[in-house]
Structure 1
Amino acid sequence: MNLGVLSAINMKNLWNMSYGSNLEDEVLMEVAVMAWKIWRRRNDLVFNQTFSSPQLIVRQAYQKIDDLNALLSQQTINPTIIPQTIQWTAPPLDVYKINWDSAVDKLNCKVGVGTLIRDWEGRVIACMRMCISLFPDPYLAEAIGALHSVKLALDIGLKQINLEGDAMNVVNDIKGNKDSWKHSGLIITDIKQLLLSFDSFTVDYVPRNCNGLAHCLARDALHINDVLIDIEDVPLCIVALL
């Protein structure tokens, strides 16, 4: 095939001419997700000067496939479910809202952390799902979740943030002027110190119905092995809720 003919063939036709039509649906899904993650890796390197290891790309790709299979299974079992409306208010201009939540698996001594960062127009900037082997104490879980959520915001270069969570005791301790003498007081102190790195910040309590997406991410995080961070992308576990 000469270059003139090749240039007139788009990627879809080239794929079909090769072997795409002979592959099973599961394999096609795997190839598509892998190709998409490789393309995103290339863009991150070119535009953001960030490099992801091949092992991380493979792990994230397979997690995406698991998410997609789980979503398809849910739709097959009960396709009539209508997601609950999630209340959310946009932050002021140039401020990024960070919603976090934690889920506890007492049986396996695991904590799942879910973080969702959106801008003042409601666009998803980043999502994080993290699973940690930890003593399953609810307060400790929420404090750890807040800490890693603030770290994520710093890592991606945010300057003005509004941190929101539905754990009132943790929110009050972060906002309080006194040192916390709880067993996880050092975590609260670390959060306060990290918050001083931002140009401006606020910390607010919100009820669960305003924090539903972060809660879904936290529950989903219990099924992963490490940490998954999606930049300007939405995990399939919350796609239907946005």
Structure 2
Amino acid sequence: MNSFLDFKNAQQKPQTPIGGTTEDLGTWKPPPLGVIKVNWNASMNASNGKPGFGIVAREHQGRVLAYKKLSKSSFLDPLLAEAQGVLYVVDLIIELGYSLTILKGDSHLIIKGLMQDQPRWDEVGMILSNTMKILFYLDSWNATFVKRNGNVYAHLLAKAILSLHKGLVDLVVNPDTLQPVTPI
């Protein structure tokens, strides 16, 4: 029950932006040249507790480089699903070979957990710790909060995958935009 209250509180507007700036009007804004912006969202099916995840990576002109939607049959906690979603994001970033990245999500607690060096000793904290270990390998990264209307595409991907009854992963990559992968 406490996790649900954390999740609900995290969706409320913060007094000041956490770990960067919010996108003022809630609309998507392009990243600087050479930087990839990755939006993610986790949605929950209230009847069965199944989460759906939507991830979309774009470049400075707004062109979609890749998107991924996936569902799992295991999580019941919304905040835990958001944490797992950002871990899926960094796994995708590494897989595609991007090293300059801005992460955008609509969970204040997850963004705060990534940007502040204060460990959490629960399941969410363990996932964020794993995420941070992977982010260490990037040349540069930042995570900032985005309002739902600036995260629409990722949200729609997460909702769309929930309509399927089985766990599924759907990854679409524009092959013209892949970066050469260098070993870590």
TM-score bucket (shorter structure)? 0.7 to 0.9
Structure 1's unaligned 5+ residue stretches are: 1-84, 234-242
Q: 1:210 aligns with which of 150, 168, 175?
A: 150
CA contact (8 A) 2:26 2:146 kept: no
What are the residue-to-residue correspondences of 1:65-104 with 2, within 5 Å?
A: 87-104=27-44
Q: 1:230 aligns with which of 164, 172, 179?
A: 172
Q: Structure 1 137/189 Cα, relative in aligned 2: closer, same or farther at 3 Å?
A: same
| CA drift at 1:86 | 7.4
- Aligned equivalents of 1:193, 1:231: Cα separation in 2: 25
- Aligned equivalents of 2:102, 2:115: Cα separation in 1: 12
Residue in 2 aligned with 1:112? 52
Identity across the alignment (%): 33
Q: 1:194 aligns with which of 134, 142, 148?
A: 134
Instruction: Find the residue that maps to 1:93 and give its secondary structure.
Output: coil
| CA drift at 1:228 | 0.4
Residue in 2 aligned with 1:172? 112
- Aligned equivalents of 1:162, 1:86: Cα separation in 2: 16
* Stretches of 4+ aligned residues off by more than 3 angstroms: none
Q: Which has the higher helix share?
A: 1
TM-score for the superposition, normalised by structure 2? 0.77
| CA drift at 1:182 | 3.0
- Aligned equivalents of 2:80, 2:67: Cα separation in 1: 21
Instruction: Find the residue that maps to 1:133 and give its secondary structure.
Output: coil
Q: Which amino acid aligns with 1:191?
A: T
State the number of aligned residues.
Answer: 149
Q: Which amino acid aligns with 1:146?
A: V
Instruction: Find the residue that maps to 1:89 and give its secondary structure.
Output: coil
Q: Specify which structure has the bigger relative contact order, considering alpha-carbon pairs within 8 angstroms and separated by 6 or more residues.
A: 2
Q: 1:121 aligns with which of 45, 61, 77?
A: 61
CA contact (8 A) 1:105 1:136 kept: no
Structure 2's unaligned 5+ residue stretches are: 1-24, 176-184
Q: Which amino acid aligns with 1:132?
A: K
Instruction: Find the residue that maps to 2:131 and give its secondary structure.
Output: helix
- Aligned equivalents of 1:141, 1:227: Cα separation in 2: 15
Residue in 2 aligned with 1:161? 101
Q: CA RMSD in A?
A: 1.6
Instruction: Find the residue that maps to 1:139 and give its secondary structure.
Output: helix
CA contact (8 A) 1:86 1:213 kept: no
CA contact (8 A) 1:101 1:113 kept: yes
Q: Which amino acid aligns with 2:65?
A: I
Q: Which has the larger radius of gyration?
A: 1
Q: Which has the higher strand share?
A: 2
| CA drift at 1:109 | 2.6
